[in-house]
Amino acid sequence: MKTLAAKIKTKLIAPNFDFKQSSKLRACLEISATDIVTALFTTQNELVYLQHYTYKSTEKINEVFEHLVHTEAFFSQAYLNVYISVLNPLYTIVPTALYHTENKEQWLKFNHAITDEITVLSDDVYSSDSKCVYASNQKLKTLIDQTFPNNHIKHKTTCIAESLADIASKKYKSCLVHVGTDSFDIALYDKKMCFFNTFEYQSTEDFLYFILASLEQNKFAVDETEITLSGEIESQSALYDTLKEYFPKLKFAVNNKAIILKNDFEKLPNHFYYSLFNLYLCAL
């Protein structure tokens, strides 16, 4: 097996943590084209392990996952539960009333070009009475099933959508902007989810354009919409400074208090790993 350039971006481990406790822990993994995040929670919802790997988008995701399976202790344990989130733009949201399991591939093909190398999956999005239909790399799915036979997979979109009611403003329309390494999600909410989409960006101008266009398209006036930021965006960054100039009602997300953070985990900015934590909360 070739050596892959997976680097550790973040590593936090609770004092006295031991993988011998794995059978009593719940595991969460987020998998995207450039990142894999692994986390462990106790049954009291305390985060005790977090390791964030990054790698080049030119690497094959299944090969990166297989490399970690053979080199990292996290992947060789048996956990109480294993929850996995797939992060990719190959998804579509379908009203439950129109959805039929036998037609899920057709729904995905309507919006995306898909190949024989993917498996089509779907989640219930209870908060909007809809289904999230999405693609997963077939080889990766096989590796996941072999490594964690008791896994439960969801798409990131599902986990974020289910959190919207909890973060929505009671006074204004709400817009959640969830930032990833090279893409970001926009979710609009006004008593229900009105819009969800993922955009790739290379510059601050791209970022700003897609937010403004999404708001305008859905008739969300800038001065009547609260913008909540989550994910990989620093409070001391040019991107944040630009957003402050355009959006008078701008704030960072705060992670759900049901998750207990102690020791070094308390130093994590509240809006970091928002989708990972919501993956865990969705599974409870």
Q: What is the mean pLDDT of residues 4-30?
A: 93
Question: pLDDT per residue over 157-214, tens digit each?
Answer: 999 999 999 999 999 999 999 998 889 999 999 999 999 999 999 899 999 999 999 9
Please give the domain boundaries of the chain with CATH numbers for all domains. Answer: 1-163+256-284 (3.30.420.250), 165-252 (3.30.420.260)
Residues 75-87 have a mean pLDDT of 97
pLDDT, average across residues 127-135: 96
Position 2 scores a pLDDT of 56
Has residue 4 got a pLDDT over 70? no
For 115, residues 6+ apart whose C-beta sits below 8 A from its C-beta are none
Average pLDDT, the chain: 94
